[in-house]
């Protein structure tokens, strides 16, 4: 069967690429231009949500404070180009019927029309050469560096990569057709994916160049946006995944927005040991 399995099959609504794609304004199409930009290079600390971080794991779980940080130039131009090429080749095998398209190379989940298929099965069924390990080397290296940055800024040396970790593309020229296409809703990552403790977002496109809108908006207590991150190629955002940081994605009004979401857990049972194990050897 070509159908996808794993977290995408069991949480179709969860994906609403609110699935952490990252936020939009409360009213469709509205841009809160007065929202302050999140400063780059500085860890912005917040009190953790106790409900979101109940289980304490030494050298992993945030305890005294949670936080968020944006880092410019985290991925080089060459790395962004390589990751973009991976996403393009994979997504060419499918494509969502509405605005968002998801590609999760670990589980194989790929948006195709209004459902998910397994891209690795699709490669086999169509006779298309699958991704090789060398093709995905930049992906592997960047994810490893994101984990190192997590340890550096949050002291989470015992964190594990978890699922889903995925590419997401939002195309403004495709109106939403099903609930999963409505990526702009406010959400908390730990409520959508209970294994999440830390969320990483690496941008592979630039607002104002590749698309308009599409900022990551963090919300305050009243649900209004209180800080914004404008996507820029190579920019990484790391934040604790609990209720201390509800967020949403601004609607993309034109162009195409591309990003990579990387998630980490403190629960070894939810860890991904080899997230690219389905890639084929180079011949």
* Per-residue pLDDT reduced to its tens digit, 176-211: 988 889 999 999 999 999 899 999 999 999 999 999
By percentage, how much of the chain surpasses pLDDT 90? Answer: 78
More confident residue, 202 or 53: 202
Task: Please tell me the predicted confidence (pLDDT) of residue 54.
Answer: 85
pTM of this structure? 0.90
Separation of alpha carbons 110 and 130, rounded Å: 14
Task: Please tell me the predicted confidence (pLDDT) of residue 30.
Answer: 39
Q: Closest Cα to residue 96, out of 40, 20, 14, 170?
A: 170
| DSSP letter (8 states) at residue 283 | -
Separation of alpha carbons 133 and 251, rounded Å: 35
Task: Please tell me the predicted confidence (pLDDT) of residue 35.
Answer: 86
3-class secondary structure, 200? strand
By percentage, how much of the chain surpasses pLDDT 70? Answer: 89
Task: Please tell me the predicted confidence (pLDDT) of residue 60.
Answer: 96
Residue-averaged pLDDT of the chain? 90
In the predicted structure, residue 22 carries a pLDDT above the cut 50:
no
Separation of alpha carbons 92 and 147, rounded Å: 29
Separation of alpha carbons 134 and 281, rounded Å: 8
Quick one: average pLDDT of 237-258?
A: 97
In the predicted structure, residue 28 carries a pLDDT above the cut 50:
no
Separation of alpha carbons 164 and 104, rounded Å: 7
Enumerate the H helices of the chain as residue ranges: 7-10, 12-15, 77-91, 119-126, 137-154, 189-192
Separation of alpha carbons 184 and 86, rounded Å: 25
More confident residue, 245 or 10: 245
Quick one: average pLDDT of 92-116?
A: 96
Contact between residue 261 and residue 201 where contact means Cβ atoms under 8 Å apart: yes
Separation of alpha carbons 6 and 11, rounded Å: 9
CA 235 vs. chain centroid, Å, equals: 13
Q: Select which of 31, 232, 248, 257 is catalytic.
A: 257
User: Annotated catalytic, 232?
Assistant: no
């Amino acid at each position: 069967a070509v159908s996808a399995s794993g977290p995408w099959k069991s949480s179709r609504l969860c994906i609403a690429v609110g699935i952490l794609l990252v936020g939009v304004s409360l009213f469709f199409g509205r841009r809160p231009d007065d929202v302050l930009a999140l400063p780059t290079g500085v860890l912005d600390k917040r009190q953790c949500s106790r409900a979101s971080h109940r289980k304490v794991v030494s050298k992993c779980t945030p305890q005294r404070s949670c936080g968020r940080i944006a880092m410019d130039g985290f991925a080089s131009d060459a790395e962004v180009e390589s990751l973009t090429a991976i996403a393009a080749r994979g997504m060419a095998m499918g494509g969502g019927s509405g605005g968002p398209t998801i590609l999760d190379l670990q589980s194989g989940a790929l948006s195709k029309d209004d459902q998910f298929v397994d891209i690795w099965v699709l490669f086999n069924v169509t006779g298309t050469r699958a991704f090789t390990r060398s093709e995905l080397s930049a992906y592997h290296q960047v994810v490893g560096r994101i984990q190192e940055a997590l340890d550096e800024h949050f002291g989470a040396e015992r964190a594990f990569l978890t699922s889903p970790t995925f590419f997401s593309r939002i195309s403004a020229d495709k109106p939403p057709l099903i609930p999963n296409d409505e990526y702009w809703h406010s959400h908390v990552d730990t409520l959508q994916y209970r294994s999440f403790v830390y969320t990483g977002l690496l941008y592979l496109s630039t607002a104002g160049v590749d698309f308009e809108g599409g900022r990551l908006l963090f919300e305050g207590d009243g649900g209004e946006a209180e800080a914004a991150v404008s996507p820029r190629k190579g920019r990484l955002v790391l934040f604790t995944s609990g209720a201390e940081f509800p967020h949403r994605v601004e609607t993309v009004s034109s162009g195409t927005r591309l990003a990579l979401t990387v998630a980490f857990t403190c629960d070894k049972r939810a860890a991904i040991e080899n997230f690219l194990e389905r890639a084929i050897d180079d011949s």
